[in-house]
Amino acid sequence: MADRPRFGPAGVPLAFRLMKATLADVPRLLTDEGLDAFEYQAVRWGAKPQIRREKAEELGLKADEHSVWLSLHGSYFINFCGKREIIEASKNRLIACATAAEWMKAHVVVFHPGFYGKRQPKEAFKDCLEAVKEVVGTMKTLGIRNVKLGPETMGKISQFGSLDEILGLCEQVEQTQPVIDWAHLHARCRGCFKKVEDFRKVVEEIERRLGTDAVKNMHCHFTKVEFTDKGERRHHTMDEEGYGPDFRMLAKVIVEFRLRPVIISESPVPDVDAIKMREILQKELS
């Protein structure tokens, strides 16, 4: 569990890429910016890890050296609500991500559970629950015990991933933790996070269903988001007016509940906005 609120980017920031930084350079460069978390992007992976073990282990060592909290975002090509062959292929992709996460000593593998398709939500939940249980069973067989699976709240109404569904999975499957994407929740309910109480209700629901440790050590994604009647459309930067949610409201709840979340910025400028969120929280704490 995190020792303090931590902030960092989803993926290697553009500025780091422009300076031709290696993956092993990222933890040091983030520390130089005052950041202390990093979510490695494995979003295009297939059934095998697409990173060499030595490179993954080197990232883990550098992250530990610079006290940077690692997570891994799993493949986008996962659908635990589809046909049997799709579910089987999805399980293999998620296990590949968990294997690499173990190599780099990442704490959680974030993943999108799937799409409802023609299934009813209750039927989709049953399929998804069974698949996640099977993946955790395989992880244990492989000796992967220090990595949690993190089903993420999703931003489109066609996607499996309401707050209730994600908490339901985590209530029933060990070695999991919810990933609360505040932009996705905001888009899914067409902009319902308008006051501090709206954030507080989510935190209280997580605590009620999963306990104090689960809520104090949340893994979160945050950015401003644009949405339509169908849900999420695109991400926006913290400086763009007219979009929500407002991080200042979440910061108040973090202070009120004395939370220690890991907050990953998914904005178009992820490290820049991670710094801005950190500064907002520091101001609220003071």
Which tens digits make up the pLDDT trace of 170-181? 999 999 999 999
Which tens digits make up the pLDDT trace of 72-84? 999 999 999 989 9
pLDDT attached to residue 82: 85
The DSSP H or E segment spanning 134 is helix 121-141
Cβ atoms 132, 160 nearer than 8 A: no
Q: Is 80 exceeded by the pLDDT of residue 43?
A: yes
| pTM (two decimals) | 0.97
Distance CA 212, CA 217 (A): 9
pLDDT attached to residue 33: 97
Q: Spell out the residues 6+ positions from residue 50 whose beta carbon is closer than 8 angstroms to its own.
A: 42, 44, 96
| Position 65, amino acid | E
**Nearest-5° Cα angle at 147, 145 to 153:** 135
Tokens 């907002």 identify what position?
280
Ordered by where they begin, the domains of the chain are: 6-285 (3.20.20.150)
Q: Is 80 exceeded by the pLDDT of residue 59?
A: yes
Q: What average pLDDT does this structure show over 37-61?
A: 96
Q: Is 80 exceeded by the pLDDT of residue 1?
A: no
Residue 181's Cβ-count burial label (10 Å; 0-12, 13-18, 19+) is: buried
Which tens digits make up the pLDDT trace of 93-139? 999 999 999 999 999 999 999 999 988 999 999 999 999 999 999 99
- For 178-223, list the strands marked E by DSSP: 179-181, 219-222
Q: What average pLDDT does this structure show over 22-43?
A: 98
Distance CA 108, CA 57 (A): 16
Q: Which residues of 9-19 are buried (b: 16+ CB within 10 A; e: fewer)?
A: bbbbbeebeee
Q: How many CA atoms within 13 Å lie on the side-chain side of 159?
A: 25
Beta bridge partners of 226: 234
